[in-house]
Amino acid sequence: MSETVQIPKGWELKKLSDVCNVDTGYAFKSSIFQTHGIPLIRIGNIQDDEVTFKKNTVFLDRKLVKKHQKFLIEKNQILIALSGATTGKSAIYHKDETAFLNQRVGRIKFFKDNPNLQKYVYYFIKKIGFEVLNKSYGGAQPNISPTLIGNFDIMIPLDDQILNKIVQKLDDILGQLDEKKKEIFSIVEQNKQRIAFFEKNWLLYIIDREILHHPEKNQWPQVNLKDIGEIVTGNTPITSKPEYYGKEYCFYKPGDLKQTFVSDSTNHLSKLGLDKARFLPKNSILVVCIGASIGKTSMIEKEGASNQQITSIISNYEKISPMFLFYFIKSKKFQEQINSSSTGVAKGWPIINKTNFGNLKIMLPDTLTQNNIVQNIKSAEQKFQSQKIQFENIKQNYEKTIKYVNNLQSSILDVAFSGKLIQ
């Protein structure tokens, strides 16, 4: 440290390397990784102040123990990440299981067996975690050396009883704060999962509720898709003629149908190219009719054309609401029709041709009922979006709480390592 440090009576100032050795693991080649054997501790195995052997853990042959014995981890040694965005994160290895150490994970080995000192140093490592990151180097991927870690100054009480009291107090205070953080993380994660699940499934649920479970559905006539609009199969203008391609008009492909409503495409056509394609006006409904994503459906908000993997329907406004038709095509009932009407495979993929697509059945309520159903679905979407906003606000409040708890923990550690936690 460059600034003057006030050392309390009965304490001493040392380099971290005076009380422990900081080394690193070995660069084991990925070609010798296995799915069983002795686990290899990599940065990803250090999670939430613990070492875990869950997914993505790799293993090494037990025959390597003799050759690489100095890279075996012992119980209660401290591990610290030496590179990457999480440089400085640490954990105590509590497991009895033998494990190898990877090159980018640092290890702290103590010169004396003193449990109080070991835990005290662990808390010190947590304290300087943010400073380790600030001192990291290496360009795009930050990293730090064991030497730099060992060069940190640490104040240590000479009386082991005081050391024990500090460790016990930190265990108690920081343990409670860690539990609070885990509780908050759990709440946020549960809500994220619920939102993600509902976002993926809400539209189908609402469509089924409003259309397929409508109390008057049995009274609605069933008509062929071709009877309430124009069926258009896409095509691709000759790609060897660059004059057909430009920036003026959207040229939709299956990969562009990522949202309910699509307002742009990856590729575009010129006016000459559009004349060689099959024009699709705004509000056309595009359906993928070949391949693994068969049945994927979007409504376009900009006019253009599509390639041959997409079949579209241009609604007859006098017979059907485009939005009602769109929701019906998205329904489970209609999607099942698409799958069951597939006539075979093209290059290994299912396909439904234009004729079969046009013969698919839809239920056709009166115009007023169509509009009411569309409005109900839109209202449900607005409510869902409002709930998402509320969740984001709650999430931000939780993140502020986490930040406050982190700052509180950092302040407590500052007090502890300045000799003021135990007077």
Q: Which phi-psi region, left, alpha or beta, contains residue 42 (left: φ > 0; alpha: ψ -120 to 50)?
A: beta
Is the separation of the CB atoms in 87 and 128 below 8 Å? no
Distance between CA 201 and CA 208 in Å, rounded? 11
Q: 25 and 154 share a domain?
A: yes
Indicate whether 100 and 229 sit together in one domain: no
Same domain, 106 and 242: no
Q: Are residues 139 and 270 in the same domain?
A: no
Containing structural domain, residue 81: 11-158
What pLDDT shows up at residue 381? 84
Residue 50, domain member (yes or no): yes
Is position 170 within any domain?
no
Question: Residue 168 has what pLDDT?
Answer: 95
Task: Examine the domain organization and report whether 134 and 238 are in the same domain.
Answer: no
Q: From CA 23, how far away is CA 1, in angstroms rounded?
A: 22
Q: Does 93 reside within a domain?
A: yes
Is the dihedral angle over the CA atoms 113, 116, 122, 127 positive or is it negative?
A: negative
CA angle 271, 277, 279 (to 5 degrees): 80
| Summary count for the chain: helices (H), strands (E) | 10, 23
Q: What DSSP assignment string belongs to 12-44?
A: EEEEHHHHEEEEE-B---GGG-BSSSEEEE-GG
Let me know whether 233 and 127 are in one domain. Answer: no
**Ranges in the chain, pLDDT < 70:** 1-4, 130-142, 344-348, 423
Report the CATH number at residue 318: 3.90.220.20
In this structure, the chain runs to a length of 423
Residue 238 falls inside a structural domain: yes
Please check whether residue 182 lies inside any domain of the structure: no
Q: Give the Cα separation of 155 and 189 in Å (integer).
A: 39
Q: Tell which residue, 52, 136, 55, has the closest CA to residue 94.
A: 52
Total number of domains in the chain: 2
pLDDT confidence of residue 1: 44
Do residues 16 and 112 both lie within one domain?
yes
Q: How many CB atoms lie within 10 A of CB 219?
A: 11
pTM given for the model:
0.61
Q: Are residues 150 and 252 in the same domain?
A: no
**Model pLDDT, residue 360:** 96
Six-digit token string for 330: 């998205």
Same domain, 140 and 278: no
